[in-house]
Structure 1
Amino acid sequence: MAVDDFAAPALPDRVGTVPREYFVPQAAWVMPMRDAPSYWIDRAADPEGWRRAVYSDTTILTQVDDGETELCAESAGSAVASSSNTAPSLVADFLALLDAYDGDRVLEVGTGTGWTAALLAARVGQRNVTTVEVDRQVARQAVANLECAGFAPRVVVGDGAQGVAEEAPFDRVHVTCAVREVPYAWVEQTRPGGVIVAPWAPTSVAGHQLRLVVTGEAAVGRLWGEAAFMMLRQQRFRPPDAPDEAREPQARIDPRRITRAGVGLRVALAGLIPGVAVSGLDRPDGVHQVMVRHVASGSDAVCRKPPDLLPQVKQYGPRDLWDELEAAYLTWVGWGEPDWDRFGVTVDAEGQHLWLDKPDNRISKVQR
């Protein structure tokens, strides 16, 4: 059955201009937005099931392990996701934040399957779109997808964190991978008044929609909701080295208070203990566990709260990360537990700065 045999169902206005089926492989792994289980689709075996997945609000996984493992029904559930076609609702959210005008020059970081590059080309003209992809194999397939759909924006293979200086300046920068720190190169390559939108994930894969406006030497903006994307490859969290001897302080705070505090605390931690990743889970044995990690210093901490017992803490490396996390949590409580929508971000030549309520109220940092 040919692609043209499908009539495209209704999608959000901003993603209905380019049929998604041109950018979805014949076989792929589907990851629904909600709690529904993931599943494998195969167009040859079940064309209608494939079509339903393509036009549902799902992210469709297209590569695992940076292409070192073949994507199949068996590998998709266990390998590390490394490229995908993002769920239409998230694509629409970010395009709305980008608010590209006719004729805007746009840099896209993270070509992926090429779908958003095509959507941008349909909006501003394909000669105005430059898209950069770090993975040569992914870029090659994106070019084929774009040609099939009738588009030919400039596709560059390279480090997206560096932007594409030879094509600058840009009016808009659209980022399709999560970043812990917004590269200053993107600010330098954007005209004053231009907009940068990106999934901002300073402490974990689960992050936030960030919209920045470039003021000249800096970019300033606020958070606009949650978003989970694959991390920019140059900013991925690396696995820790083998732990040294553990220190076992007494926890002052029940770890559940921290992990269940909400999105406002997660945002605050990005400014109070920058570069520190925090994750928590309820284990099958009833233990609530919190992991804290700072890759740059080689420091880790774990706090486990067994049922009806006091929390147990182990810290490794040069930093006492659990102590720092408790101090950051109490600082946030002392501010009145502000929610995520009171925070914003400034990016300048000195780095990335988190602020509360207004840009000149930058958050102080716990000792790094």
Structure 2
Amino acid sequence: MTIVDSVALRRALADRLAAGGLLRTAPWHEALCSVPRHEFLRGGFFEQVKGSAPTAWYPVVPDDGGWLERCYADESLVTQIAGTIVPADIRGEIMRVPTSSSTMPNLVVRMLEDLYVEDGNRVLEVGTGTGYSSGLLCHRLGDELVTSVEVDPEVSRRAGTALATCGYFPRLIVGDGLAGHRHHAPYDRLVATCGVLNVPYTWVEQTKPGGIILATLCGWLYSSELARLTVGGDGVAHGRFLGGQISFMLARPQLPPPFGMLPDLESGQERPARLGATVLDDWDARFVAQLAAPRAQHLALTLSDGTKHVLVDVEAGSWAVLAQDGEQWTVRQGGPVQMWDAVEDHLLRWRTDGSPALDRFEVTITPEAQRITWPTI
């Protein structure tokens, strides 16, 4: 395809997002029409092998037919697997976990719009990734107002090359984004393109009073929500979830530990369960469960006597295993904390309060803690 074709493709993408109500303001529409997403995908991306279990991936590179059109599809494109592997490294298929991607444009645009950027704002981006979001920010604000932190040196290097190709030169920092970047603080806006278990207070400290933090709060049960927080003059950040079931890869320092050897699931104490494991199928309920057991991981085991649902807090050593017998669920628990007791208590209290939607929850970040609450009846 020609350069004219790529211009037409990004204009068409911008128009589709505007028609869907996601691209709401002229400056971001102009940025999306101007910044070539395909330049940030020159190294190719990984395509999921349909029907594969466990999930397998194969590389798609610029020489492949349809590559350019795919760059302007409204979808996330995996760009790195297993922490180091890029499309050029693979011939055939690979079955490992994705570790970096180019976020779907509708989510990129939604977050930029929800950040309420104004002319002259200094922005810290946590998670440079391919650099596409950084390029949009540079186009909107100017290079000197954009700082982006990336934990992976090679990912940062590739992003810097792509940005330079497009004529953008933001401040790119290699480091732990959870620490922010104090040297060029304070910032008017901070946006994280990775999921976090807790909003680091360093982000609040590095954001001006009245400034906005946009971050996706997640847990190891993998329900997550986008929060917009405003920093107060007292150093406390307040805000709410914006809704929409936003999902990002977790920040690498906050990835869950491996399961290792499972506990003896026949030990512990058994009782009838007030709630069964199917409650975790619901996104909102699973998020509430995470508030009660933020370090729990879920594993479904298919055994000769049926499927057992195991929740394990590897670090604490607490666990719960749920099994169904007809209409009745039972739970067996062990370790220092009765994990499923806490989950049931939290979920039943939420239901008593009318099961309010997540966009009604309130988030507060203080120097001591993160607090998430829902309205009561």
- Give the TM bin, normalised by the shorter chain: 0.7 to 0.9
For residue 252 of structure 2, what is the amino acid of its counterpart? R
Counterpart position of 2:317: 298
Unaligned runs of 5+ in 2: 18-22, 50-55
The answer on whether the counterparts of 2:223 and 2:283 sit within 8 Å (CA) in structure 1 is: no
Looking at structure 2, the residues matched to 25 and 310 of structure 1 have their Cα atoms a distance apart, in angstroms, of 54
Counterpart position of 2:280: 259
Looking at structure 2, the residues matched to 181 and 159 of structure 1 have their Cα atoms a distance apart, in angstroms, of 15
Counterpart position of 1:201: 218
Are 1:186 and 2:203 counterparts? yes
Equivalent runs, 1:35-114 vs 2, <5 Å = 40-46=59-65, 49-67=66-84, 72=90, 74-76=92-94, 78-114=95-131
Q: Secondary structure at the match of 1:84?
A: strand
Counterpart position of 2:360: 342
Are 1:122 and 2:169 counterparts? no
Q: 1:132 to 1:243 in 2, by over 3 A?
A: same
The answer on whether the counterparts of 1:221 and 1:344 sit within 8 Å (CA) in structure 2 is: yes
The answer on whether the counterparts of 2:268 and 2:333 sit within 8 Å (CA) in structure 1 is: yes
- How far has the Cα of 1:102 moved from its partner? 1.1
- How far has the Cα of 1:113 moved from its partner? 0.4
Looking at structure 2, the residues matched to 134 and 257 of structure 1 have their Cα atoms a distance apart, in angstroms, of 36
The answer on whether the counterparts of 1:108 and 1:129 sit within 8 Å (CA) in structure 2 is: yes
Looking at structure 1, the residues matched to 307 and 256 of structure 2 have their Cα atoms a distance apart, in angstroms, of 22
Q: Secondary structure at the match of 2:196?
A: coil
The answer on whether the counterparts of 1:218 and 1:346 sit within 8 Å (CA) in structure 2 is: yes
Equivalent runs, 1:218-297 vs 2, <5 Å = 218-225=236-243, 226-245=245-264, 246-260=267-281, 262-271=282-291, 273-277=292-296, 279=298, 289-297=308-316
Q: Deviations over 1:253-300 (max 9, x none)?
A: 34255224x3432333344x1523364779799966544233441323
RMSD: 2.9
The answer on whether the counterparts of 2:77 and 2:103 sit within 8 Å (CA) in structure 1 is: yes
- How far has the Cα of 1:326 moved from its partner? 2.0
The answer on whether the counterparts of 1:182 and 1:347 sit within 8 Å (CA) in structure 2 is: yes
Unaligned runs of 5+ in 1: 362-368
The answer on whether the counterparts of 1:259 and 1:280 sit within 8 Å (CA) in structure 2 is: no
Q: Secondary structure at the match of 1:227?
A: coil
Looking at structure 1, the residues matched to 299 and 313 of structure 2 have their Cα atoms a distance apart, in angstroms, of 15
Count of aligned pairs between the two proteins: 349
Structure 1 window deviating more from structure 2 (156-165 vs 245-254): it is 245-254
Equivalent runs, 1:11-22 vs 2, <5 Å = 11=13, 12=17, 13=23, 14=28, 15-22=32-39
Looking at structure 2, the residues matched to 43 and 357 of structure 1 have their Cα atoms a distance apart, in angstroms, of 50
- How far has the Cα of 1:321 moved from its partner? 1.5
Q: 1:20 to 1:68 in 2, by over 3 A?
A: closer
Q: TM-score, normalised by structure 1?
A: 0.85
- How far has the Cα of 1:314 moved from its partner? 4.1
Q: 1:178 to 1:334 in 2, by over 3 A?
A: same
Looking at structure 2, the residues matched to 73 and 284 of structure 1 have their Cα atoms a distance apart, in angstroms, of 36
Looking at structure 1, the residues matched to 359 and 299 of structure 2 have their Cα atoms a distance apart, in angstroms, of 22
- How far has the Cα of 1:249 moved from its partner? 1.0
- How far has the Cα of 1:250 moved from its partner? 2.2
Q: 1:338 to 1:258 in 2, by over 3 A?
A: same
- How far has the Cα of 1:312 moved from its partner? 4.6
The answer on whether the counterparts of 2:301 and 2:310 sit within 8 Å (CA) in structure 1 is: no
- How far has the Cα of 1:19 moved from its partner? 1.5
Q: Secondary structure at the match of 1:146?
A: helix
The answer on whether the counterparts of 1:254 and 1:305 sit within 8 Å (CA) in structure 2 is: no
Looking at structure 2, the residues matched to 212 and 124 of structure 1 have their Cα atoms a distance apart, in angstroms, of 21
Counterpart position of 2:7: 7
Are 1:142 and 2:159 counterparts? yes
Structure 1 window deviating more from structure 2 (65-74 vs 236-245): it is 65-74
The answer on whether the counterparts of 1:109 and 1:174 sit within 8 Å (CA) in structure 2 is: yes
Looking at structure 2, the residues matched to 111 and 208 of structure 1 have their Cα atoms a distance apart, in angstroms, of 20
Q: 1:274 to 1:255 in 2, by over 3 A?
A: closer
For residue 109 of structure 1, what is the amino acid of its counterpart? V
- How far has the Cα of 1:203 moved from its partner? 4.2
Looking at structure 2, the residues matched to 162 and 219 of structure 1 have their Cα atoms a distance apart, in angstroms, of 17
The answer on whether the counterparts of 2:150 and 2:156 sit within 8 Å (CA) in structure 1 is: yes
- How far has the Cα of 1:103 moved from its partner? 1.2
Are 1:357 and 2:372 counterparts? no
Are 1:214 and 2:234 counterparts? no
Looking at structure 2, the residues matched to 50 and 186 of structure 1 have their Cα atoms a distance apart, in angstroms, of 37
For residue 356 of structure 2, what is the amino acid of its counterpart? P
Q: Deviations over 1:180-212 (max 9, x none)?
A: 100000000000010010121134333111111
Q: 1:279 to 1:240 in 2, by over 3 A?
A: closer
For residue 125 of structure 2, what is the amino acid of its counterpart? E
Looking at structure 2, the residues matched to 312 and 286 of structure 1 have their Cα atoms a distance apart, in angstroms, of 14
Q: Secondary structure at the match of 1:178?
A: strand
The answer on whether the counterparts of 2:227 and 2:242 sit within 8 Å (CA) in structure 1 is: yes
The answer on whether the counterparts of 2:360 and 2:375 sit within 8 Å (CA) in structure 1 is: yes
